């Protein structure tokens, strides 16, 4: 597979795996370094990518056009997160989000008796019922997206959200910038933007506004052992036990033994930022 200097810099996440965080960081990097920031969410719109010059191309379902993977000047950053934490983060966010950014949340649905996704979720009587509904709906789509990624691609870098939120010295992110072909002066600028917009750096826990404020909270990794109800975990093992192994988050199916009693603590959002308890985090 031939290679060329990186020009098309692709950033892919999944719902509740750091999307709001990465959107903010890469948009600011693009502004600082005069690199166009181009979201491409419709597979039919890949012609929006400029034919010359560097460009940051983002897709928040990591659904890049197949032809793009064949282009020698394309590089890909792909971020995943433990699906069990994605389930918890997603269910919380979908139940409480006041915003209208996620269209699927608020439109009436015939299959839900005219209720929206959020209204149906809010009306369910127990946490287990809410998590089960989420598991069979939006979460199933997210897991399928994560599994569909071409892992091991020569021009792709796969990272875990759990590692990025512990990247206090920015070493992982600097590795991404080098992989994307940034020179040393550009790396210094981009590294500072990343640090300033991360929970471990300059981002204030109560300083978010707009979309950031509705998505961010603790952002910590591996919340599921303390927060996933046992019955839900058992159903999750049945439905997605093999998927956890395929994604590298488990080696076998013995992880139920790590469950602890559920505690009522501050919520998480999955995006690497921070905000009110009813919010999520930076996913």
Domain limits for position 93 = 1-283
Using alpha carbons, select from 96, 121, 117 the residue that is nearest to residue 106. Answer: 117
Task: Specify the DSSP class assigned to residue 238.
Answer: H
| Whole-number Å distance between alpha carbons of 25 and 180 | 15
Q: Give the pLDDT band of residue 75 (cuts 50, 70, 90).
A: very high
More confident residue, 281 or 88: 88
| Whole-number Å distance between alpha carbons of 283 and 60 | 10
Q: What is the pLDDT of residue 283?
A: 52
Q: Give the pLDDT band of residue 246 (cuts 50, 70, 90).
A: very high
The answer to whether the CB of 217 falls within 8 A of the CB of 268 is yes
Using alpha carbons, select from 100, 85, 143 the residue that is nearest to residue 272. Answer: 85
User: Which CATH number characterizes residue 3's domain?
Assistant: 3.40.50.300
| Whole-number Å distance between alpha carbons of 84 and 205 | 24
Q: What is the pLDDT of residue 201?
A: 72
Residue with tokens 């204030």: 204
More confident residue, 152 or 101: 152
- Looking at the DSSP bridge assignments, the partners of residue 12 are 59, 78
Q: How many domains does the chain have?
A: 1
pLDDT digits (tens, 9 = 90+) for 144-181: 999 999 999 999 999 999 999 999 999 999 999 999 99
Mean pLDDT of the chain: 87
Q: What is the pLDDT of residue 108?
A: 87
Q: What is the pLDDT of residue 8?
A: 97
pLDDT digits (tens, 9 = 90+) for 170-222: 999 999 999 999 999 999 999 999 999 998 876 655 444 444 444 444 567 78
pLDDT of 231 higher than 90: yes
| Whole-number Å distance between alpha carbons of 275 and 270 | 11
pLDDT digits (tens, 9 = 90+) for 102-134: 777 888 888 988 888 888 889 999 999 999 999
């Amino acid at each position: 597979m031939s290679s060329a200097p990186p020009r098309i810099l692709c950033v892919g996440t999944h719902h509740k795996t750091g999307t709001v965080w990465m959107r903010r960081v890469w948009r600011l990097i693009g502004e600082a370094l005069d690199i166009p920031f181009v979201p491409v969410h419709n597979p039919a719109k890949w012609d929006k990518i400029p034919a010359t010059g560097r460009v940051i191309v983002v897709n928040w379902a990591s659904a890049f056009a197949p032809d793009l993977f064949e282009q020698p000047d394309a590089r890909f950053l792909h971020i995943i997160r433990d699906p069990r934490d994605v389930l918890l983060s997603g269910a919380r966010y979908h139940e409480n989000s006041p915003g209208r950014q996620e269209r699927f949340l608020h439109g009436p649905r015939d299959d839900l008796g005219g209720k929206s996704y959020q209204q149906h979720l809010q009306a369910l009587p127990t946490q287990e019922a809410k998590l089960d509904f989420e598991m069979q709906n939006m979460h199933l789509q997210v897991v399928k997206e994560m599994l569909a990624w071409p892992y091991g691609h020569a021009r792709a870098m796969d990272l875990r959200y759990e590692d990025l939120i512990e990247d206090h010295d920015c070493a992982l992110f600097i590795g991404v910038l080098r992989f994307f072909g940034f020179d040393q002066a550009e790396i210094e600028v981009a590294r500072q933007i990343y640090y300033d917009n991360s929970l471990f750096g300059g981002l204030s826990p109560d300083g978010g506004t707009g979309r950031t404020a509705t998505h961010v909270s603790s952002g910590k990794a591996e919340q599921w052992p303390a927060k996933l109800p046992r019955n839900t975990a058992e159903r999750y093992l049945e439905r997605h036990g093999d998927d956890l192994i395929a994604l590298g988050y488990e080696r076998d199916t013995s992880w139920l033994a790590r469950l602890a009693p559920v505690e009522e603590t501050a919520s998480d959002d999955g995006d690497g930022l921070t905000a009110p308890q009813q919010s999520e985090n930076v996913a």
